[in-house]
Structure 1
């Protein structure tokens, strides 16, 4: 099979790899479409924390946002058959340790992460994947849309952890794919108002088409004041999905007293300065990170199959395997929104 292999920072190419039969418990899958994520860019650039810390090593086949079709099943696999349309989770826990057994397999100390940490990903013609972390998705969902279940689940997780309800005004810092998906999820959770804060007019216009109450360009300044004007007060929920430390500083100021601030961006090793820790305490702000998407994939797939959430709306470019580096360039230049590799 052909697969994209990142050999080291800035070095990637399409290579031939052996087609291996599925191991017991695994399913062999023909990959149909895979999304390029900001994490893939960080792996390509050599800035992804797992790689800079030595947790993960090159070479690696990237790709953790994907959809495929079952070819065959290994011994012991039940519930899947050739021809099934499937998507696979990013975090794969050992399912034996106390962390996994508590439901937090995304924090398993022995976990692998698809296309990121000690597990080959889906920028390839085929992938073998553990059935325990596979989910069926209806063929009525377009292939490219189905490839984005994983980032949709990440967005769902942030909104879930923020406990968004119809009582909440929500501000989302970030007009990239996760921010735009979080917008759709917050609307699905019934948020009273959802405002997207970003820096790209094209993306902010899309946010309004996707149902944002308002879209604020950071270049215009005074973001907290403008959020307060829109909602008659600061939002009770703020989701930071930029990976820009400066956005965290502003997000703290933009969160209402007693509000919830969720950090979902990865910062590629950047350290924020100027954080007002006193405001977190004196305004009684609940601050937490949101990692991965454990235990929620059936819910997310249901939202997509019903049409209540449409990840395909954020797709701007479709390329083939040979276009992987071009796709990385599009993402880095913010020339598109979401790039998918289809086969």
Structure 2
């Protein structure tokens, strides 16, 4: 007998409803999962507002069940699934590649031209009571990890990927531009990579205070107006070797280019919702021999991230400021926009 389950559906920009949808049995290679918790991400806000680039470019279409940061419990396995069984606690990746094209076979499934992305690009997400998911992109996680922390493995993996691309080492001072959830997870990951100093730049006092509690060497409020000067002071008189931009604000790119040391690494991790960066000092990128990279997704790092969270070296749950129910999804979007908390988690039950 076909069953129904409740799910959040965004029908169009700023139009959302809680609906009963068919709860289909898992197909070949798929697993059915009871969702335990899902984090609200800035990308969910962009989908709600209609500014998310995939939607404005026509790659993705409404309606969509959002939700790409989640943890759940296996309730059924389809044919061909051997690695999982009922009762396993699992988390799932955002990018799901076809695993047949040359891009996927090279390990870059997050750039697969035929990919889906959970809750974003042609794949239903986890703001729902259940989700069907390909076993190939699932990972087990210990039940000893709090549900809120497990739900945030996906953004933790995004942060890990940014720090990995920046090649952070114990020799490096790292500046993180942004005190949102990704910025605060970047702080934890940079510390886990052994960075000498980690400095967080932001504009929200309670988030900067949390950054200090999470071990930031220094925090800088953008209201000070002298961000680069303060960064040099905090880094012992020199510009930081690594700057990671995690605000999605084009103006921050200008600051990042000015702030990074000659020969340093600049990683852009925020999404800019179609906005352009004006006035970027391109000559400094060349004359200061700066490496500039984008960091997309979290390919191939999930086992490493789960290990860091299971060991307690990284604690995503420290960011959780409020827990909501499915019916409160739109309220949660408003809270994220208002920056009133840090990270919101939705629990269906």
What TM-score does the superposition give when structure 2 sets the normalisation length?
A: 0.98
Match of 2:154, SS state, is helix
Deviation per CA, 1:192-213: give whole Å up to 9, x if none.
0000000000000000000000
Structure-1 residue corresponding to 2:77: 73
Structure-1 residue corresponding to 2:173: 169
> How far, CA to CA, are the matches of 2:42 and 2:205 in structure 1?
20
Structure-2 residue corresponding to 1:214: 218
1:125 CA displacement: 0.2
Structure-1 residue corresponding to 2:285: 280
Structure-2 residue corresponding to 1:325: 330
Structure-1 residue corresponding to 2:39: 35
Structure-2 residue corresponding to 1:199: 203
Contact 1:93–1:110 (CA<8 Å) still a contact in 2?
yes
Structure-2 residue corresponding to 1:89: 93
Structure-2 residue corresponding to 1:250: 255
Aligned length: 343
Which of 298, 301, 314 in structure 1 is aligned with 2:303? 298
> How far, CA to CA, are the matches of 1:82 and 1:329 in structure 2?
36
> How far, CA to CA, are the matches of 2:323 and 2:17 in structure 1?
18
Structure-1 residue corresponding to 2:59: 55
Structure 1 stretches lacking a partner, 5+ long: none
Deviation per CA, 1:53-89: give whole Å up to 9, x if none.
1000000000000000000100000110000000000
User: Which stretch of the first structure deviates more once superposed, 57-66 or 227-236?
Assistant: 227-236
1:28 CA displacement: 0.3
Which runs of structure 1 show a deviation greater than 3 angstroms over 4 or more consecutive aligned residues?
none
Contact 1:144–1:342 (CA<8 Å) still a contact in 2?
no
1:19 CA displacement: 0.9
> How far, CA to CA, are the matches of 1:13 and 1:244 in structure 2?
30
Structure-1 residue corresponding to 2:129: 125
Structure 2 stretches lacking a partner, 5+ long: none
Asked if 1:136 corresponds to 2:137, the answer is no
> How far, CA to CA, are the matches of 2:293 and 2:324 in structure 1?
36
- Over the aligned positions, Cα root-mean-square deviation in angstroms equals 0.4
